[in-house]
Chain A
Amino acid sequence: MSVENAPVVDVDEAAIPVEKKMYYRFESNDKKEFRVSELAIQQSETLNRLVEAMGYTSEDVENKPAIAIENIDGKTLKLVFQWCEHHKGEAIPVDDGSVPKIVEIPEFDAKLMDIDNGLLFKLIWAADYLNIVQLLNVSCKKVANMAQGKTPAQLRRVYLLPSDEEDEAAKRAAQEAQDPRAREVEEEFEERKRQGGNSFF
C-alpha cells in the first residue's frame, strides 16, 4: 500500500506547530500503513526506543520503508495509534506498586474501546507489546469492569476460564503431544487393568 493511500490517523492540524514535525510510518502485519506523530509515539516505550535507536531524519522517514510491526494487525494498530494521538504529550504513569492503582476511563477511551471483546483482547496484547502503560491500564479496567456483580460461574463464562478438570485435560494432552510413547504406555496399562493384571510389569 502506498503512503498516499495509508489510513492516516486523525491529526489535529491546528495543534501542529509551525516548525517541521516528524511523522513516522508504521506497517501492521496485514500491510496497513499508518503515519504517527513523534509526540504520540512517546506514549509507547517500545516504539519510542525503536525510533530513537533508528535515528531517522525527516527524509529517512519519507524515503525508507515503513517500520514493520509484525505482531499486530491493522485494525488493532489503528486503535492504538488513535489512542496515542489523543493522549500525546500526557505524562506516562509510573506504577512502582507503592500506591494503590486507581484507574478511570476517560470518555474518549470509553468510545474507542466500544468494540467487540475479541478486538479488546487484541488491544490489551498490543498495549502490552508496545508498552503503552496508560492504554494497558484503561483496557484492563474495561475488562475488570466486566467482573462486577458476577458469580464465579458467570465469571468463567465471561472470561472463558477453564475449570480445574479442563486444565488437567489440557495439561495431559500437551504432555501426550510432547511424548507419544506416554500415551501408548497409558493405553497398555489400561488394557492390562481390564484383563485383571495386578501389576503393570
Chain B
Amino acid sequence: MVKVLNIPLLALKNLISILGPKEKIDFSFCSKKCRRAVKICTRKDSVQVTVNYKSAKSYVSVLPSDSKKDVKLDTEKISEMLGLLNEGDLWIPSLVLPCADYICDVLNSQVYGIVFSNSSMAKLVNLQKWLESRQETLEYCEITESVPTNQLFYILDNFEAEFLSVDNTYFLDYEKAIKSKVLYMKNYSRVNLSHIEKSNLTKVELRSTLLARNEINEILRAWVRGSIPHLSLLVITGITNHNIMSLVDGIELTELGVNVRNRYKGIFNEPKVIAGGWTVRRSDGEMATIKIVIVRFSNKYSNNFCINS
C-alpha cells in the first residue's frame, strides 16, 4: 500500500495524469481531497466526453486524447456514488445528465458530443435545457437509425454541432445538416451541389450514395469553378455506375504516378494517404487530388470517389 496523497505534488500530478478516465473518476470518489487532486492534475479538455442518450441505459463515454478507444463509464454506479440512486432503484435515463456534469467537472472538460438514439420528446427537451445551461457549443452530434422523425427534427433544430454524423433513413431534410462544418452520412443520402453550395461544409463523406454520376460531376465542376471554396474533402462511396470515368467528364486532370503519395486527414481527422490519382486545379490556383477506387463487395463492384485539397 502506498500513501498516495503524501507523495510530492509533482509526483501526484504525474501519477494522476497516467490514470485512465475510469480510474480518475473512481479515485475522485474516494474523498473531497482526491476529487480536488484529480481536477487540479487533469489537463483541460484532455478527454472527449460523449453522452449516449437513449430511452433506457443512457451512458457517458470518454475518449482520452492519447487513445483511439473510448471508455464507457458505468453511469449507474456513478449515480450511486453521487447519491442519486440507491441500490435496487430503477435506473432513470435523465440521471445520465448529473453524471455527465460530474465527469466533465472532475475531468476538466466540456461535453464534446451527443449520440442520439430513440428516447422521447420530453427527454430531448430536458437534454436541450441541460446542455444550454452548461455550454454554448457542441462539437459532435450523431443521429442513429432508431431516432424517429419527430425527434429527428427536434434534434436538428436544437442541437447544432460542428460535426454531424447521420445514420438514419428518415433523414432527408439536408438543409438542416448544412449548418455543420463536417458531415458524415452513413447511408443512402442525396446531399447534392445545391446543399453544399449553401453550406459552410469543409468535409463531407457520403457512404452508399444515391447521387447519380452527373450530380457528382456537377459538384466537381463547381469546385473547379471556385463556387464551393470551403470544401476541402469530399468522399463518396458506393457509386454504382460502371462508367466511372464519366464522373470527371470535362475536367482537366493531370495523372499522378502510383508512387506519388498525398497525405491528408480524413473525416474524423484520421491520417490517410492517397496513392496516385489525378491532380485538379481550381480557378484560383488551389490544387486537389482526385482518386476513384473500385471496391469489390462479394460479386458487386462499388466505386469510391475522393477529392482532397
- The interface of chain A, by Cβ under 8 A from chain B, is 97, 99-103, 117, 120-121, 124-125, 127-129, 136-137, 139-141, 143-144, 146-148, 150-152, 155-164, 167
Contact = CB atoms under 8 A, between A and B. Distances in A.
Interface string B19-35: 11001001101111110
A147 B66 contact: no
Contacts of B10: 128, 136
A167 B31 contact: yes
A103 B31 contact: no
A134 to B, nearest CB: 11
Contact of B19 (A144, A157, A160): A144
6 contacts: A136-B11, A140-B14, A159-B3, A160-B2, A164-B31, A164-B33
User: What 4 A-B pairs come out closest when comparing CB atoms?
Assistant: A100-B66, A159-B4, A152-B29, A144-B18
B21 to A, nearest CB: 12
A129 to B, nearest CB: 8
Nearest to B19: A144
Contacts of B11: 124-125, 127-128, 136, 139-140
Contact of A97 (B18, B23, B43, B81): B43
B2 A167 contact: no
A155 B26 contact: yes
B65 interface: yes
Contacts of B18: 101, 103, 137, 140-141, 144
Interface string B47-85: 000000000000000001110000000000000010000
A146 B19 CA distance: 10
Contact of A161 (B4, B20, B64, B66): B4
Contacts of B19: 144, 147
Interface of B: 1-8, 10-11, 14-15, 17-20, 23, 26-27, 29-34, 43, 46, 64-66, 81
Contacts of B64: 100
Nearest to A103: B18
A137 to B, nearest CB: 6
Given A117-B1, A125-B7, A137-B14, A161 B26 contact: no
Contacts of B23: 144, 147-148, 150
A161 B26 CA distance: 12
Contacts, number: 100
Contacts of B33: 161-162, 164, 167
A144 to B, nearest CB: 4
A124 B43 CA distance: 22
B27 A163 contact: no
Nearest to B67: A100
A78 B69 CA distance: 39
B14 A136 contact: yes
A147 B22 CA distance: 10
Contacts of B3: 121, 159-160
A159 B2 contact: yes
B1 A159 contact: yes
A26 to B, nearest CB: 21
Contact of B4 (A125, A137, A160): A160
A118 to B, nearest CB: 8
A161 B18 CA distance: 18
Given A101-B66, A121-B2, 16 more contacts: A97-B43, A101-B17, A117-B2, A124-B8, A124-B11, A125-B11, A127-B11, A128-B11, A129-B8, A139-B11, A140-B18, A144-B15, A152-B26, A152-B81, A157-B1, A167-B31
A128 B19 CA distance: 18
A28 B34 CA distance: 33
Contacts of B46: 100
Given A120-B2, A144-B23, A146-B2, A155 B30 contact: yes
Contacts of B31: 161-164, 167
Contacts of A143: 2, 4, 15
Contacts of B43: 97
